[in-house]
Amino acid sequence: MKTILAGGQYGDEGKGKISSYIAVKDNPEIVARAGVGPNAGHRVLYKGKWYGLRMLPSGFVNENSKILVGTGVMVNPAVFLEEMEKTNTKGRIFVDRGAGTILQKHIEEDSASETSKKIGTTKTGCGPSLVDRVRRTAKRADEIEELKPYLVDGVKMVNEAKDVFIEGSQGFMLSLYYGTYPFVTSKDVTASSFAADVGLGPTKIDEVILVIKSYTTRVGNGPFPSEIGVEEAEGLSFQEYGTVTGRPRRTSKELHFDDLKKAVMVNGATQIAITKIDIRFKGNEGIKEYKKLTQEAKDYVNIVEKRLDVPVTLIGTGPDTEHIVDRREEIL
């Protein structure tokens, strides 16, 4: 089985939590990271310990899985090595030899340029390093000494494996193609691109899980409908802060269904995962069985299913990897 996980909103949907659960539960041979690069930030709570990651997939928590950073991803070697140490994944972690790399000059450019300031980028150098890649002047992973012990032919790896779980980053509304251009990230971030990022053809993908949070947030500049203030968001416990940048995230109480419908279409979503239902509706913390959710929460899930016409198979009920309702066996 080959499954892709994609973000349905502006990133920060809680993909990390869903991904870590799936990696543990489904036990894939390979957990692959797709998407842009270390501009993504996710926090994973596993066995009582928090891990903050930017480069590695949250699915690292399954110690049986090999971890691969795909050829489409821009790798910051220092961040990669630091996260390998902190997750203790040496020996089962690999980078495709053709992956892009982020150098100090890219980070400097991303911090200084007027365009980056206007957009409110994460200043992690992803955009400028992709510019070099398009100019065909970039350094690839196989030219970086520190990455040499981890290099592999990722294409061969994912195509020879039976079960691969591909973790995308960012979210649909930040896609270079489909998002709120120019207030977007530097690549397309939908399922087709994630498949290409790791070297799988579209016909090889079995499932696409679109992750949406039960309310909407955006970090950085750009259009954002029905935005509320920080105070109101704090009052609802919806207020969040960026993992990479620490910036307060902008909040909307609504799900933006027109955008979500488009996200379902472009991603070819076969399942939806809803996160943070416990934050939206009190009384659902840590629940693992659908029937134990509050009526309000179940009604919400039904509305999402009806309006998007895709089954909601996973429902996040708390920060821990295990805090989840998994309806896949019942529904699929």
Catalytic residues: 12, 42
Task: Indicate whether 193 belongs to the interface with ligand IMP (CB under 6 A).
Answer: no
Task: Indicate whether 275 belongs to the interface with ligand IMP (CB under 6 A).
Answer: no
Q: Which residue has the tokens 């251009």?
A: 181
Within residues 204-233, the interface with ligand IMP by CB under 6 A covers 219-220
DSSP 84-139: HHHHT-TTSEEEETT-EE--HHHHHHHHH-HHHHHHT---SSHHHHHHHHHHT-PP
Cβ contact 286:318 at 8 Å = yes
Q: Which two tokens stand for residue 39?
A: 């501009």
Task: Indicate whether 127 belongs to the interface with ligand IMP (CB under 6 A).
Answer: yes
Task: Indicate whether 22 belongs to the interface with ligand IMP (CB under 6 A).
Answer: no
DSSP three-state, residue 288 = coil
Cβ contact 110:116 at 8 Å = yes
Phi/psi of residue 143, nearest 5 degrees: -100, 0
Residue 60 is inside which H or E element, if any? none
Q: Which stretch binds Mg ion (CB under 5 A): 66-74, 159-167, 176-184, 237-245?
A: 237-245
Within residues 27-46, the interface with ligand IMP by CB under 6 A covers 36, 39-41
Task: Indicate whether 76 belongs to the interface with ligand IMP (CB under 6 A).
Answer: no
Using alpha carbons only, give the angle 172, 318, 278 rounded to the nearest 5 degrees. Answer: 80
d(CA 191, CA 178): 12
Q: Which two tokens stand for residue 182?
A: 């120019």
Q: Identify the CA nearest to 99 among candidates 80, 72, 60, 118.
A: 72
String of contacts with ligand IMP for each residue 145-184, x by CB under 6 A:
------------------------xx---x----------
Identify which of residues 170 and 284 has a Cβ nearer to ligand IMP in the complex: 170
Identify which of residues 76 and 243 has a Cβ nearer to Mg ion in the complex: 243
d(CA 213, CA 229): 18
For ligand IMP, how many residues bind (rule: CB under 6 A)?
Answer: 21
| Residue 169 site contact among ligand IMP, Mg ion, none (CB < 5 to 8 Å, cut-off depends on kind) | ligand IMP
Nearest distance, CB of residue 328 and ligand IMP, angstroms: 26
Task: Indicate whether 12 belongs to the interface with Mg ion (CB under 5 A).
Answer: yes
Identify which of residues 159 and 221 has a Cβ nearer to ligand IMP in the complex: 221
Nearest distance, CB of residue 294 and ligand IMP, angstroms: 29
Task: Indicate whether 8 belongs to the interface with Mg ion (CB under 5 A).
Answer: no
String of contacts with Mg ion for each residue 27-66, x by CB under 5 A:
--------------x-------------------------
Identify which of residues 121 and 321 has a Cβ nearer to ligand IMP in the complex: 121
DSSP 172-219: GGG-TTTSSTTSS-SS--SHHHHHHHHT--GGG--EEEEEEESSEEE-
Interface residues toward ligand IMP, by CB under 6 A = 10-12, 36, 39-41, 119-122, 124, 126-127, 169-170, 174, 185-186, 219-220
Interface residues toward Mg ion, by CB under 5 A = 12, 41, 243
